[in-house]
Amino acid sequence: MAIKVYNTLTRKKEAFKPINLGRIGWYNCGPTVYNYIHIGNARNVVCFDIIRRYFEYSGYEVKFAQNYTDIDDKMINRARELGISVPELADKFIRQYEKDAAMLNVRLPTVSPRATYHIKQIIGQIKKIQEKGYAYETEDGVYFDVSKFRKYGKLSGQNIDELKKGARVDINEKKKDPLDFALWKKEKPNEPSWDSPWGKGRPGWHIECSAMNTTYLGDTFDIHSGGKDLIFPHHENEIAQAESATGKKYVKYWLHNAFLNINREKMSKSLGNFMTADEALKRFDPRAIRFFFLETHYRSEIDFSEENITTAKHSLERIDNFVFANKDAAENPKVRKIVDKYKKGFIKAMDDDFETPNAVAAIFEMIKEVNKIGTGKEAYDFLVEIDSVLGVLKKEEGKINEDIENLIEERENARKSRDFRKADNIRDELKSKGIILEDTDKGVRWKRV
């Protein structure tokens, strides 16, 4: 059965079909690196890490790109406050982000482009937009002319007139229409700037994403994600920019996570109601934070409280105890049967737009049934296997994957030294563990049957 994903663009769950068989190009809007990320931002990062890992578990190769916004008003103001340069500020908070992500057991992206390292590509895309008649220049910048892009509003499901009513008018910008947005901002005194065909200046926020992701993933790619606050205007503007520049469809599936709230209000820096990920990771068990996110579907809102994290920690402890009890257990055919049933349940839940709460429920049902009849190594193996997606078990449980990798390496070495019998024996041994090897032009890959 195919994986189904809820696509914001069509407002339905759709069977996922990548553009290139077996491969996925994915872009997630990353942090503006002017400060610590908060636990709401962390939700975005963890949810999409789990989904990315599930695609990989299902056999896809995922190229995951996530940007660092390292130039905008917030960056400039904060650097000034701290008395450091904008690049110094960016370096500091990129390091901090990487540390938080590692603590949350989030894999780093395949590529992490920084806006200021891609000014050439950004200017290139603005030029194309302008050549095709979708942009105009004023005394303070280059703007996208929204009235020229007929499909504007297709992601947020609103037409231009409706959007106009709600648009914020920024009196500081010299543009024709409130919905128009800056592609290039001309230089202001004491601000970082780069040369361009429109004089010195810096890119607008929206253009950095569409210029960088099309550079790394191509004009059309599979998945674009972010928090739902980005649907309008950010993602709407990205579509307008990319599709007017390339004349092609930009993204196939748009995925958006719901907010993490605190006292029923969206956690955000501007409201001041936030807890940084750094602080949360010091106060709570990082595994419990990840598990807390998992217990709620990524498109449902979630309430952050100390109590909720503590509850998540207790649930996780039940899994920990079960892992401990079954780790060195003997094989047990009855347990195998139970595991087979709940593995199907896990996959069914995850295939259905990544229903992690149901996947977690399947795990607890499995634990309950196994506990009734005793123990079994198979149950432990199953939990370790799906932990390549969930990433919540204690670190040493990753050892099984390591053992598999070691065996694969041994087989490779045997083949190189033309010891084909040994290589075949290792292949058979892995097969008996449910591991299938595939020789590809990029080397050997493995998957579970």
Residues that bind ligand AMP (CB under 6 A): 29, 31-32, 40-41, 43-44, 226-227, 229-230, 257, 259-260, 266-268
Residue nearest to ligand AMP (CB): 227
CA distance linking residue 233 with residue 86, whole number of Å = 25
Which H, E and C letters describe 192-251, residue by residue? CCECCCCCCEEECHHHHHHHHHHHHHCCCEEEEEEEHHHHHHHHHHHHHHHHHHHCCCCE
> If contact means CB under 5 to 8 A according to the sort of partner, which of ligand AMP, Zn ion, none does residue 268 touch?
ligand AMP
- Each as own residue / partner, the long-range contacts of residues 427-434 (CB below 8 Å, 24 or more positions apart, any chain) are 430/404, 433/404
Q: Shortest approach of ligand AMP to residue 229 CB, angstroms?
A: 5
Which residue number, 267 or 288, has a Cβ lying nearer to ligand AMP?
267
* Nearer to Zn ion among residue 14 and residue 229 (C-beta): 229
Query: 279 or 396, CB closer to ligand AMP?
Result: 279
Handedness of CA 21, 43, 36, 231 (dihedral sign): positive
Q: Which of residues 203-262 bind Zn ion (CB under 5 A)?
A: 209
Work out how close the CB of 262 gets to ligand AMP at its nearest, in angstroms, rounded to a whole number. 8
In the chain, the amino acid numbered 256 is H
* 201/227 with CB nearer ligand AMP: 227
126: contact with Zn ion by CB under 5 A: no
Sequence-ordered list of residues with C-beta below 8 angstroms from that of 418, at least 6 positions apart, any chain: none
| x-marked contacts with Zn ion along 4-43 as a string, rule CB under 5 A | -------------------------x--------------
Q: Identify which of residues 75 and 103 has a Cβ nearer to Zn ion in the complex.
A: 75
Residue 31 contact, options Zn ion, ligand AMP, none, Cβ 5-8 Å cut-off depending on partner type: ligand AMP
- Give the whole-angstrom CA distance, residue 57 versus residue 447: 8
Residues in the chain: 449
182 binds, among Zn ion, ligand AMP, none (CB under 5 to 8 A by kind): none
Q: 29 vs 240, which CB is nearer to ligand AMP?
A: 29
Site membership for Zn ion, residue 339 (CB under 5 A): no
429 alpha carbon, distance to own chain's centre: 35
- As a whole number of Å, the CA-based R_g of the chain is 24
Alpha carbon 48 to chain centroid, angstroms: 3
Asked if residues 37 and 100 have their Cβ atoms less than 8 Å apart, the reply is: yes
Closest approach, Cβ 405 to ligand AMP, in A, equals 33
267 contacts which partner out of ligand AMP, Zn ion, none, CB within 5 to 8 A by kind?
A: ligand AMP
Q: How far is the CB of 260 from ligand AMP (least distance, A)?
A: 4
Which of Zn ion, ligand AMP, none binds 209 (CB below 5-8 Å, type-dependent)? Zn ion
Residues 377-406 that bind Zn ion (CB under 5 A): none
The binder of 40, among ligand AMP, Zn ion, none, by C-beta within 5 to 8 A per type, is ligand AMP
The residue (of 179 and 212) whose beta carbon lies closer to Zn ion is 212
Alpha carbon of residue 370 to chain centroid? 34
Q: Which does 44 bind (CB under 5 to 8 A by kind): ligand AMP, Zn ion, none?
A: ligand AMP
Contact at 8 Å (CB) between 157 and 10?
no
Chain position carrying tokens 């339905």: 12
Q: For residue 12, what is the enclosing H or E element?
A: strand 12-15
From the list ligand AMP, Zn ion, none, pick the one residue 214 interacts with, judged by a Cβ distance below 5 to 8 Å according to partner type.
none
**H/E element, 424:** helix 420-432
Contact 250/220 with Cβ under 8 angstroms? yes
Between 112 and 138, CB nearer to Zn ion: 112
What contacts 91, CB < 8 A, 6 or more positions away?
Answer: none
We find the least distance from the C-beta atom of residue 234 to Zn ion, in angstroms, to be 6
DSSP-assigned letter for residue 53: H
C-beta closer to ligand AMP: residue 184 or 259: 259
Q: Pick what 25 binds: Zn ion, ligand AMP, none; C-beta below 5 to 8 Å, kind-dependent.
A: none
210 binds, among ligand AMP, Zn ion, none (CB under 5 to 8 A by kind): none
Q: Which is nearer to Zn ion, 29 or 407 (CB)?
A: 29
| Structure-token match 């130039």, residue found | 71
Query: SS3 of 301, please?
Result: coil
Among 113, 276, 323, residue whose Cα is nearest residue 210: 113
Q: Closest CB to ligand AMP among 203 and 376? A: 203
State in angstroms the smallest separation of the CB of 65 from Zn ion: 11
Closest CB 410 distance from Zn ion, rounded Å: 44
Residue 183's nearest CA partner among 217, 211, 163, 156 is 211
Give the number of residues in contact with Zn ion, rule: CB under 5 A: 2
- Residue 266 site contact among ligand AMP, Zn ion, none (CB < 5 to 8 Å, cut-off depends on kind): ligand AMP
Cβ neighbors of 127 (< 8 A, separation 6 or more) are 197
Binding residues for Zn ion, per CB under 5 A? Answer: 29, 209
